Amino acid sequence: MLAVFVASLAACGSTPKTTAQQPAPITVAAQSSVTPPKNTVKVKKKSPLLLLETNWEDTLPPEEEADFSPTSLFVEEALAHLGVRYKYGGNSPDNGFDCSGLVVFVSEKAMGLKLPRRAEEIARFGQKVSTDDLQPGDLVFYNTLRRQYSHVGIYVGDGKFIHAPSSGGVVRVERMEVGYWKKRFNGARRLSSLLASS
């Protein structure tokens, strides 16, 4: 049995062009009674036209459903600002962000929510969430200035959050399990509950 491996199929997801072009190179390999790999194309031996037998739909990746929920857009918008410099009182990508400036900017842009400017004021909004129930888009609060809710970030999933850390830093993603953050954690709030009630 002959198997034909078409090298150009892996990168092609569009309709083939109908203009006369040089055919793509193919490799033909002799096979024993072993079942050919999934991406191979079987060629009928005696066919003058080399009719190809395959189920092309099996070779295409499954379509993924896009998530356009407000919280996913919130996380995506926050991640779009990775690397923006920290600036105390900053509230835009052009001037820089402090922790609450990032959260206020992203929540308004992605979800249309106008939040207060300070982390401890933001901590009064939304629904309280336990650490075990964290979902991407939840706000996470920390005691970094010897007072509760003095720092805020956005949970992005997998035990990580994005935030604008401090002078000299940039917007970045960090693990919540790092000792510094773990011992300063104050709690979390879910803003999507504000969207449901409006």
Active site residues: 99, 151, 163
Please list, in sequence order, all residues whose beta carbon lies within 8 angstroms of the beta carbon of residue 66, skipping any fewer than 6 positions away: none
Separation between Cα atoms, residue 144 and residue 130, nearest integer Å? 20
Alpha-helical (H) ranges within 2-79 are 56-59, 70-79
Strands 2-6 and 26-30: antiparallel
Separation between Cα atoms, residue 36 and residue 57, nearest integer Å? 17
Q: Residue 177 corresponds to which tokens in the numbers above?
A: 């399990």
DSSP reduced 3-state for 113: coil
